[in-house]
Amino acid sequence: MASRDVLAPFRVAFGGIIHTFRTQRHMRIHLYVTFATLMAAMFFRLRLREILVLLFMITFVLVAEMFNSAIEATVDLASPNYHPLAKFAKDIAAGAVLITTIMAIIVGSLIALGEGQWERIRVSLMADGIGLNPIGRLIIGLLTTLIVVIVGKGLGSRGQVLQGGLVSGHAAIGFFLATFCLLVADNVLVGGVAILLAAIIAQSRWEAKFHSIFELALGAAVGTTVGIVLFALIPK
């Protein structure tokens, strides 16, 4: 009887892991990625310290996914019908998984990059110029603009990440690309056409009642600022 009592919690825990694997598609994807990552770590002969960091991040993601599944099941049990707070709880749990996954990808990328390559990048960033061609700056600018837009939407009280919100993502991306065209092409006509197209994009969001004039202006300011910083202020 004592032996059964000791082993029962382990059976329950393994049952939870197996149930999560069987019913949650994202959990299966995470496990497949885990096996592929460990195989790659052995193939590239990573050091023990690097493998331990990878194992920690992998465990972090898997645990977050299991908590997400548990929260979803609890919310469905407590609120079978749609409720805004139930959706809010699920969204927060999914957001936690997203954050842990992004951090795991960043850590894995830095480990794959290697200390030597990272040191060269750091020295390049501390030099007079960042050493990036216009395409590299364009990619960095798009990512920066998206991050600022997402943070701005989070600060607002209405809208969602992909629709509405305090900062218009369409206006931000449109005016960033317009600033890119104006500064890189160094042609007033090309820049004017690009700005006109960005304004049309912003106007369409206003006509569709997704954003107010203020929100569109904020988006345009974000995109223009990022473009000016990357293509005019930072040395080439």
SS3 83: coil
Q: How far apart are alpha carbons 66 and 135 in whole angstroms?
A: 39
Instruction: Compute and round to an integer the Cα radius of gyration of the chain.
Output: 24
Query: Which position among 50, 65, 119, 215 bears the catalytic label?
Result: 65
Q: For residue 228, how many other CB atoms are within 10 A of its CB? A: 15
Q: How far apart are alpha carbons 180 and 140 in whole angstroms?
A: 12
CA torsion sign for 179, 181, 187, 188 is negative
Q: Which of 119, 122, 146, 140 is nearest to 234 (CA)?
A: 140
Report residue 226 as tokens: 């990022």
Say which DSSP state 211 is in.
Answer: S
Q: For residue 75, how many other CB atoms are within 10 A of its CB? A: 18
115 is an active site residue: no
Active site residue ranges? 65
